[in-house]
Structure 1
Amino acid sequence: MRAISAGVLALGILAATPAGAMQQSPEYVPTTDSEDIVVTAEREVLRSFVAELSQPNPHEDQIARWDSRVCLRVAGLDQRHGQYLVDRIAARAHELGLRPAAPGCRANVVIFVTRDADMIASAIADDHDLVAYYNNAEFGNALGRAELQQFASTDAPVRWWFVSHTADRSGRPIPTGGMVGSPGSRLQSAVRQDFNRVLIVVDAQQAQGVRFDALADYLSMVSLAQLDPAADTSGFPTILNLFSDRASGQAGPASMTEWDTAYLEGLYRAPRNASSARQQRWSITNRMQRELTPPEDGQSR
């Protein structure tokens, strides 16, 4: 896996927001704002939620996920807030069965919190190797030119860019033109998509005043699942409405909702080498329906 560019990381530090600019305590204070949502959901609504969020790899028609270890770096926050953010995302990753990376690990998730989000995003986008612009075995697979331009130019409070790589069923990366040991089948592919790295840029000015614990869970979602930045989640209970709810004068979620955690559980339990993203979406929807349907009296899920 290619190491995150030191030059890009330095840019993030130079454009960093001053300590305390979030103006929020890093302590996590659970609330019931998002946890008392009635979670009985029709399957069609869940299917729409899954389809809206997920963004499959366009080259293999599969939804990627992390394999085992996630190594986080945060640029632009003081140590206290930065460590809280790392710990919160690591805890969410652990809930999904991912293992913590060893001290001194090479970062594969880098979060830039900056008052010059456009400059950082443009610097990232200009590093074609870093964003896997050529979609090759050494640097990984990513979305296309249009999506990269959108990443560089959007005015969204948070923007993200994922790179994955093609691996065989055991997780060994497959080089361009390489051979795989199984031809696959109608229900299973001979390959899978594993995340390689993710770069996240947070606009510190737009994030100012947002609850820090809520922001940490928002960043957890976009660190652990390749979500469509253009997804319309307004009709669903999700932490991804954090900024849009605030813009419309609503309180918004204070943490991941049960829909969010069920989606992540579904993603990380779905077949990794499924024959198509459609099959994976079906599996995620099934898992969410089981998680979000209250058990009948005397029965367990």
Structure 2
Amino acid sequence: MNSFALGAFALAAAGTGAAQVPHDPEPTITVEGQLPERTRHFVETLTQTFGSDQQLARWNDPVCVATMGMDGARVPLADVQQSIDRLFWNALVVRRDPHVATDGTDTMTLGRFVVDRIRQVAETVDIPVAHGRCTPDILIVSASDADAFTRTLVKRHPALGRPRGFNGFGGAGLAPPSQIRPLLVSRPVRWFHTSATGPAADVGVGSGARSGWGSSFQASRIRLATRENMVLAMIVVDPDRVVGATWDQLADYLAMVALARPRLDADFRDAPSILSLFTPDGAMQDRVAALTPEDRAFLRALYASDTGHTATMQRANIVDRMRRPAPSTSR
């Protein structure tokens, strides 16, 4: 385990203090052994959906990871939000404009360590990874006043909290209304994911599927003509509240958040997962040193599952895959 502490964790954005937003009790996740009902609950909490007809979202295009404010330099709030604006427009409009570099130095910094670890985890579970210069669709920001930063973010971008399809791009509401309430609660790490509905990978011309983004509809009794594509993951870290975690723990925690779609308001404190690193009240518990076998099994199963199925069928397939013997892999 990397022994570096996070005491010098950098500050990314200035802001004023914020009152905490009350929230409902969190669902508790406990996975023990291979009990199917516990595994099902674990999978459900890692694959948040919005609406009964939404399929499970995952990264189907190569992921590009970037960090801001994690390496000692203070980043002006205006610069952070300008970068976020670009990412939001990339999510709203059919994207990939390869003009943003993730890192231009050879020095191992916390930011670069996190980027490299997320790429490494993605590659070990067969998630596509972009190399070279690319437009980041996973952005991790360290904000000195994460509460104020998040409030400003939500206020600045009216697409946050809007329903899916409000802008004509099918699934490109940046975060549904149900995600905003937990997003505004003070936490060590908070996040939201944006997904868009597109045609299934094996649906061709003349199949009856819409081209571009569109709402889900059934192409047959077995499979759907659509799939749910992750297009943006925005993660905000409060540097003062993650002090005490190792680089390995924090990087793996961020990898699990970025590559899955865990519920922000879930309670993972008793789960055999790196997500147990922080309790719902923000306390850090040193139970897990890195991604667990259950974490890796879930990611492998999610990215091996058939994206053309309903969420219910896809979750069942993930549970079945997780209960199979894990292949031998190196970290």
Q: TM-score, normalised by structure 1?
A: 0.75
Identity %: 30
- Asked if 1:284 is matched to 2:307, the reply is no
Q: Counterpart of 2:37 in structure 1: which amino acid?
A: E
Identify the residue that residue 27 of structure 1 maps to in structure 2.
none
Q: Counterpart of 1:112 in structure 2: which amino acid?
A: V
Q: Counterpart of 1:287 in structure 2: which amino acid?
A: R
The Cα of 1:14 is off from its aligned counterpart by 3.8
- Asked if 1:47 is matched to 2:79, the reply is no
Q: Distance in 1 between matches of 2:282 and 2:159?
A: 33
Q: Describe the shift of the 1:246–1:95 C-alpha distance in structure 2 as closer, same or farther (beyond 3 A).
A: farther
Check the 8 A contact 2:59/2:230 in 1, yes or no.
Answer: yes
Identify the residue that residue 7 of structure 1 maps to in structure 2.
none
Cα deviation digits, residues 172-226 of structure 1 (max 9, x gap): 963458xx9x951233111110001110001111101111110100000000011
Q: Describe the shift of the 1:147–1:13 C-alpha distance in structure 2 as closer, same or farther (beyond 3 A).
A: same
The Cα of 1:109 is off from its aligned counterpart by 0.8
Identify the residue that residue 212 of structure 2 maps to in structure 1.
174
Q: Describe the shift of the 1:92–1:277 C-alpha distance in structure 2 as closer, same or farther (beyond 3 A).
A: same
Q: Distance in 2 between matches of 1:112 and 1:173?
A: 34
- Matched length: 257
Unaligned runs of 5+ in 2: 1-10, 16-30, 72-106, 203-209
Check the 8 A contact 1:40/1:293 in 2, yes or no.
Answer: no
Check the 8 A contact 2:55/2:311 in 1, yes or no.
Answer: yes
Q: Describe the shift of the 1:291–1:131 C-alpha distance in structure 2 as closer, same or farther (beyond 3 A).
A: farther
Q: Describe the shift of the 1:120–1:247 C-alpha distance in structure 2 as closer, same or farther (beyond 3 A).
A: closer
Structure number with the higher helix fraction is 1
Identify the residue that residue 187 of structure 2 maps to in structure 1.
156
Q: Distance in 2 between matches of 1:176 and 1:284?
A: 25
The Cα of 1:50 is off from its aligned counterpart by 1.3
2:303 to 255, 260, 268: 268
Identify the residue that residue 85 of structure 1 maps to in structure 2.
114
Q: Distance in 1 between matches of 2:326 and 2:116?
A: 27
Q: Distance in 1 between matches of 2:163 and 2:47?
A: 23
Q: Counterpart of 1:149 in structure 2: which amino acid?
A: R
Q: Which moved more, 1:229-238 or 1:219-228?
A: 229-238
- Asked if 1:236 is matched to 2:274, the reply is no
Q: Which moved more, 1:93-102 or 1:198-207?
A: 93-102
Secondary structure in structure 2 of the residue aligned to 1:62? coil
State the Cα RMSD in Å. 3.1
The Cα of 1:145 is off from its aligned counterpart by 1.7
Identify the residue that residue 24 of structure 1 maps to in structure 2.
none
Q: Which moved more, 1:259-268 or 1:167-176?
A: 167-176
- Asked if 1:140 is matched to 2:172, the reply is yes
- Asked if 1:124 is matched to 2:140, the reply is no
Q: Which moved more, 1:215-224 or 1:39-48?
A: 39-48
The Cα of 1:98 is off from its aligned counterpart by 2.7
Check the 8 A contact 2:117/2:255 in 1, yes or no.
Answer: yes
Unaligned runs of 5+ in 1: 1-11, 17-37, 295-301
Secondary structure in structure 1 of the residue aligned to 2:324? helix
Secondary structure in structure 1 of the residue aligned to 2:231? strand
The Cα of 1:88 is off from its aligned counterpart by 0.3
Cα deviation digits, residues 36-68 of structure 1 (max 9, x gap): xx9742222212221233212427421100013
Q: Counterpart of 2:235 in structure 1: which amino acid?
A: I
Q: Distance in 1 between matches of 2:155 and 2:285?
A: 37
Q: Distance in 1 between matches of 2:266 and 2:43?
A: 10
Q: Distance in 1 between matches of 2:156 and 2:53?
A: 24
Q: TM-score, normalised by structure 2?
A: 0.69
The Cα of 1:94 is off from its aligned counterpart by 1.1
